[in-house]
Each structure stands twice: as C-alpha cells, then as structure tokens.
Chains A and B, each alone.
Chain A
Amino acid sequence: MTSDSIKNNRNKNKNLTKWFSNIPFLRESQIMKIHYITGVGALFVVAIHIMMRLIMPFNMSLEFENVILNYKNIFYALLLESILILIAIHGFNGLRVILIEIRQTQIWERAVNILVIVAMIGIIAYGTRTIIIANGFSLG
C-alpha cells in the first residue's frame, strides 16, 4: 500500500468515529421535551383507543373480522400509528435514561444511544408495515 492510500484509510476511520461520537444531535432538554410531549400524547390517544374498544363487547372486539375492519378505517389506522410512534419514542427514550444512569462509560453510552435509535426505528417500521398490510387486507 502506498503512503497516500494509508493516509486516506486513516482519514476515513477518523470520520467514521467522529460521526459516531456526534450521535445524538439533540440537546438533553430537547429530548426531554419530546419525552414529555409523547408521554402526554400517548395517554390521550390510548384513552381514545380504549374508549373505542368499549363500544362493543370484549369477545366481539377481538374477532378477526372486527380487527381488520378497524384497520380499514383510515382514521382508526392513523390513531394506531400515532400510538405506535408516541409509545415507541417515549418508551425507548425512557429505557435509554435508565441504562445511562446505571453505567457511565463512553462506549456504553454510545452503544445505548445507537441501539435505542435502531430499536425505535425498527419497531415503528415493523408496526407501520403491519398497519399497512392490515389496511390492504381483503377478506375472500
């Protein structure tokens, strides 16, 4: 390897580590503001969700056809999507707060931040996929 290529590789590695060290991009007060808003918002939408479930008997509510009918209602699908997003953000941020309080090394904190963001995105993506598929599901 030439000295130039070695230098290029070293610079690439430095950029990668620098990128990792700059996660997250928000100040803690901004993150906590999101945490409080999502907490209150989740409470509100879950309350609506529970009230909607009470409009019919419990055993009827859990029947397959009735569940699919809920997903086919676009407003209800949006309600479920909002519950998913709000609770995922609130829950995983709460988990991040607990984990960084237990141990305070730089590697641990970076790993927790990355894993929480990945888990949040993954859960929201998988849940959204479920809602979209259920919304497009047709009987017979």
Chain B
Amino acid sequence: MMKIFKKDKTKEIRNERPLERERLNKSTSSSSSSHNNNNNNNQSLRTLRIFRINAVKNPNDVPHFDEFQVPVKRWTTVLDALLDAKSYQDSSLGIRYSCRMASCGSCGMKINGIPRLACYTKISDLDTNTITCEPLPNFPYIRDLVTDFSKFFDHHRSVMPFIQNKKADIPDVNELSEYQQSPQDLDKFLQFSYCIKCGLCYSACPTVATDLKFPGPQALSQAYRYFADSRDSDKSNRLKVIDTSHGIWRCHFAGSCSNVCPKGVDPALGIQLLRSHLLGISNSEKKIAKLQDRSNNNNYNNFYSEELEEEEEEEK
C-alpha cells in the first residue's frame, strides 16, 4: 500500500501514468504475500463506461463514451469508482460531487439508465460488469457528467419557496414571538421538506422532456410543501403561479419522479394533493404524507423498519 504513495521521480518523468501502472499491477498480480491475497479476494475489476462531452469548449462537440477499468470492493459506490478513474486514469473527467452521503444532491447522474445519486449507489447492487454513467437527462450539458441546473433553480424560485406571513414584520414583538406549529401540522408537509434539489425527479419526468415551460415535479412538490405549511399565509399567490397552461395540470401522473427520489419525498403525491386543492375537492390536509418504505429496495437502508420492529418487540 505504501509503495503506491512512494514518489519515484525517475518513473514520473519516464512514464505518463506511473500511479496507474503501480495500482493496476497491485490489483491484478498473483503475489504470494497474505496482504495482497486478502486484497485480491475482496476486490474485483469493473468497467466504467462514462459519457464524454465538452459543450463549453465546443458547442458542436460530438459526445462519446470512454471506458475505464476500476477496482471495486463490496462497499464501493459509483462515485468512488468515478473518482478512482479521475484520480488514476483521466484527470479531465468532469464530475460534480460534494457531501458523499446523499445529503447535498450534487452527484445526480444516469447510472445504467436510471437517474440516481452516485454516492448512494453501490456497484455491488447494480449487478452488472459494465456500469454506464451518463449526465442527467432534461438538463443541458456542460461537460461530461456535469449539467446546467440554472433552469431547474429558476423553476424552483418561481414557486416562492419560502414562508410568507404578513404578520412576520410587525413592530410589536410581544404579540408574536415565534411561529408555533403542532407536530400534526408538521407531519402534513415534513416529507416534502426532505427534498435536496438533486434534480433526479426533474430528469425522470416525461413531461419535462417535451414541455420546456413545465416547472417539474421538484418545484411543484415544493409548492405543496409551502402551501401545506401552517406558518405560510400567502397560499393564493403561490397557486396562481402554478395554475397556468404549463403548470401543475400538465403532469401526467407517470410516477417516475417518486420512483427515483432518493429521500422518499414522493413528488407525485404532492402534485395530486395540490391539484385537489385547486379543484376545490379538499380544503384540509386529510392525508398525512409518510416516508416511502424502501425495505424491498436493496439500494436503501432498512433501518426505519428495523427500528419499528424493535419498538414492537419492546411493546410485546
């Protein structure tokens, strides 16, 4: 392991990629040392097929795919593999990432045809030898796996994603000291507040692909989040923004948005609840949204159901 980081200046001058050669030799060699044997048993090579384009440098650039062999262990995520390829094979690879723990939403991309977060997708769960990484659909290209989110954020801004309350700026602070909200009121919109603006739902939506003015499931679900918030008083203005010919009514209820959401937000539910308000069918929040149960999905942790089981056992 230390041999990789030991600098050999003569090799660096002679060879273009000395670190890569050392690393590949180590991963594929059949050395007799026990340390290497243990590493080889837990590690395998997978092919990473990455979409390449440089739309900033050349707007007419023809996209193509580059393939990289990367070592993969049981817990290796797609982001780990991408950073491995970037560090040791091609440093020009364009990837956007930040938190590495499905909290920021920066690393959204299409992995094997489905929009996912690269940091939250384990390669072992994909069950293929070749992992195809492409930029998110419905977003303009910048470079490689990096896309332009400006229109996505414009749609988000258009629904006024902040609390609007006319009583907020009163000079007499004794009258209003805090926005009190009961747990029941919080439950009505809590699920939708988990949105990390990753753009996966926007990229999965078929209406966004055809209708350029459609705000997308993320903006509409956030419109519901603030609509359902008891602290917000300006509901009518927000509804006017989405009640247009290219607004909430152009949703076809395909459900792809909820299918790809990594945080269990269920934007499709928010859109349908908001529609019922616009039609005047329901004037109160009868349905309390819950987090999606992803216990059957291998890509997500099961700790919520485990906690519930523990509670049930304690009660018994």
Contact = CB atoms under 8 A, between A and B. Distances in A.
A28 interface: yes
B188 to A, nearest CB: 21
Q: Which of A27, A33, A97, A100 has the most CB of B within 10 A?
A: A27
Contacts of B278: 29
A28 B243 contact: yes
Contacts of A102: 210
Contact of B247 (A28, A36, A104, A109): A28
Interface in B227-284: 243-247, 249-250, 278-280
Interface string A81-106: 00000000000000001001110100
A27 B210 CA distance: 22
Interface centre among A28, A100, A102, A109 (most CB of B within 10 A): A28
A97 to B, nearest CB: 7
A101 B244 contact: no
Given A29-B278, A32-B279, A33-B279, A100 B245 contact: yes
B249 to A, nearest CB: 5
- Where chain A touches its partner, the secondary structure class is helix
B207 A101 contact: yes
Contacts of B210: 101-102
Contacts of B101: none
Contact of A101 (B243, B247, B250, B280): B250
B316 to A, nearest CB: 48
Contacts of A109: 245
B250 A27 contact: no
Contacts of A100: 211, 245-246
A107 B245 CA distance: 14
Interface of A: 27-29, 32-33, 36, 97, 100-102, 104, 109
Given A33-B280, A100-B245, A101-B207, 8 more contacts: A28-B243, A28-B247, A28-B249, A29-B278, A97-B249, A97-B250, A104-B211, A109-B245
